Structure 1
Amino acid sequence: MESVKLADGRVLEFLVEGPEDGLPLVVHHGTPGAAVSRAGMFPPGVRVVMISRPGYATSTPLPGRDVAAAAADTAAVLDAIGIAEFVTLGWSGGGPHALACAARLPDRCLAAATIAGVAPYDAGGLDWLDGMGAENVEEFGKALAGPAELEAFLAEAEGSFAHVQPGEIIAAFGDLVSEVDKRALAEGFADYLAASIRHALSGGTAGWRDDDLAFCKPWGFAVAGIEPPVSLWQGDQDRMVPFGHGRWLAAHLPRPEAHLVPGEGHISLINSIDRIVTTLRRQAAV
């Protein structure tokens, strides 16, 4: 694990894995989540850069941040390690942050992918909570009520997640995991997800809080104005980010390559990572 000190005094932790001459791939983790190694997840020839967003693990919190703030933080880390152009993907809560990089860094971001990522809360014509599992409906209800209510909710939720082990993940997620996602967790992804959540919450819930609040207010950019090519991946068995979010993004991103996949859930889409990276490489023409 490495870290960089920013001009405003904040510190961001990040990891870099893969060959120095590999395709630079910035990976935005889920919510809650953090930069944790996942050996063997990505295909050969990729140089993975993963940043723990502010407030997660040892990254300094940035209260009040919006989704767009991820672009400047990403640029600072890439500058520190000498990477100019890159492709990016974001899974779950990372999806909007990948789109932020495409929107705010169009001269550097060659292509982006959002995997089971939420749509903007103010998305016209979308019932944002419709189809979410009960836990998410309650969590975002608290986020909409304000920071104090959300912090109280997350302080209680932290007890279930701060030390979660792989065998406890399915129970911890409750109504949020469909049957296809339960199978994906049982096949090995639970190990990585539990490690990511434990590391994320090792410094408290500030990152989780600020992610949730950022999703529920203006993102700081318009998805319709994104210039780099974007691929969109969404399953119809997703109870964390319902299928309607994917349909809305597919209708409002400019020229998206949409993969609205029957039978896939929120977590099971990770099994398509080789195909997703291949799509990024093709779109970036590298």
Structure 2
Amino acid sequence: MTDVLVAPDGRRLAVQQQGEPDGHPVFLLHGTPGSRVGPSPRPTVLYRLGIRLISFDRPGYGLSDRLPGRSVADVAADVAAIADALGIARFAVVGRSGGAPHALACAALLPERSTRVAALVGLAPRGAEGLDWFDGMAHSNVVEYTMALAGHRAVAKRLATAAAQIRADPASKVVGLSQQVPESDRRVVTDHGIRRMLVRNFAEGLRDSIDGWVDDVLAFCGGWGFDPAVIEVPTLVWHGENDVFSPVGHARWLGERIPAATVKIQHGVAHFGAIGVLPEVLLWLVRE
């Protein structure tokens, strides 16, 4: 079920809740491109874990209004507004892929409200000192993020064709991904259930526009609005060693930058391994 809430600035935010209504509240921040209906554990798993899972469309995706010029840091205000509307004082946060930097923003900017935070297969800030940001990254992502330096119009032009194809045939995005990834990821995305979730996720995220996708790319490559070094909330940085979309060097850099971060690099898996590990991560998030 989707609820459309109104942020303090008047924007609509589409929110979905799953699992145990009285369980531990956990925000799940979706990937890029993505939506509130992205991959997540089955409701029966969430009930068994005692998790109240809250996901929402970031601005410009799905049913949520765009926030022009947003930075990664801006997600913290939206998460706080949703939590207020739902009567939730404190919560955990997990972000996968494009959601991972946004989860870190909550750790940095909402320390009094965030109990634990997990960043799965995420990026480090562009220009991170001592990190070769593009090393090990798939060519498609290198082109996409390089284009970000030319500004909004260049990114929008590049992504418009891809978005149109996804709207016409959402499964084509999954097929395209399977052709770029290591064998471990290929096994994940060809699973019927996960494939169905991914198709629905991409279709919903890009249903009306490419604004969310474009703004995510620009936000990742611009100033994040916070320094990961200020994070004091218990934080898990999880990464698949063979990831080609967010190379493992990004996780190692974050692990060195975030004080007392728990870093887990898993061998033999890549980007989409984060889907399978999510129940385990949820248990870590709600551990006392």
Fold shared by both chains (TM-score > 0.5): yes
Between 42-51 and 234-243, report the one with greater CA deviation: 42-51
Superposition deviation, residue 272 in structure 1:
1.1
> Quick one: structure 1 residues 8 and 47, their matched pair in 2 at CA, closer, same or farther if it must change by over 3 Å?
same
Change (3 A) 1:174 1:150: farther
Please identify, of 232-241 and 171-180, the stretch whose mean Cα deviation from structure 2 is larger: 171-180
Whole-angstrom CA distance in 1 between matches of 2:56 and 2:180: 25
CA contact (8 A) 2:107 2:232 kept: yes
CA drift of 1:82 comes to 0.8
Give matches, 1:122-271, under 5 Å. 122-166=127-171, 168-173=172-177, 176-187=180-191, 188-271=193-276
The CA distance in 2 between the partners of 1:163 and 1:247, in whole Å, is 38
Match in the other structure for 1:52: 57
Q: Counterparts of 2:196 and 2:231 in 1: how far apart (Å)?
A: 34
Q: CA deviation at 1:170?
A: 4.1
Instruction: Tell me what 1:2 maps to.
Output: 3
Cα distance change on mapping 1:259 and 1:164 into 2, 3 Å: farther
State percent identity of aligned pairs.
40
Query: Structure 1 CA distance, aligned partners of 2:112 and 2:179?
Result: 41
Question: Do 1:120 and 1:219's aligned partners in 2 also have CA atoms closer than 8 Å?
Answer: yes
Equivalences for residues 57-76 of structure 1 within 5 A: 57-76=62-81
TM superposition shift of 1:171: 2.8
The structural deviation recorded for 1:269 is 2.4
When the two chains are superposed, the root-mean-square deviation of aligned CA atoms in Å is 1.5
- What is the one-letter code of the residue matched to 2:85? A
Contact conserved, 1:132 with 1:176, CA < 8 A, in 2? no
Residues 58-101 of structure 1, C-alpha deviations (whole Å, 9 max, x = no match): 11101110001000001101111111110010000000011111
2:17 aligns with 16
Note the alpha carbon deviations across 1:234-258, whole angstroms, 9 max, x for none.
0111111011111111111111111
- Find the residue that maps to 1:279 and give its secondary structure: helix
Contact 2:174–2:198 (8 Å) recurs in 1: no
Corresponding position: 1:92 with 2:97 = yes
2 CA distance for matches of 1:104 and 1:234?
A: 23
Gaps of 5+ in 1: none
What is the deviation of 1:169? 4.0
Q: TM-score, normalised by structure 1?
A: 0.95
Deviation at 1:17, TM superposition (A): 1.3
Quick check: 152-161 or 170-179, which moved more? 170-179
Unaligned runs of 5+ in 2: none
Pairwise CA distance, 1:165: 4.0
What's the secondary structure of 1:49's corresponding residue?
A: strand
Q: 3-state SS of the aligned residue for 2:206?
A: helix
Q: Is the 8 A contact 2:231 2:259 kept in 1?
A: yes
For residues 80 and 226 of structure 2, the distance between their equivalents in structure 1, rounded to whole angstroms, comes to: 16
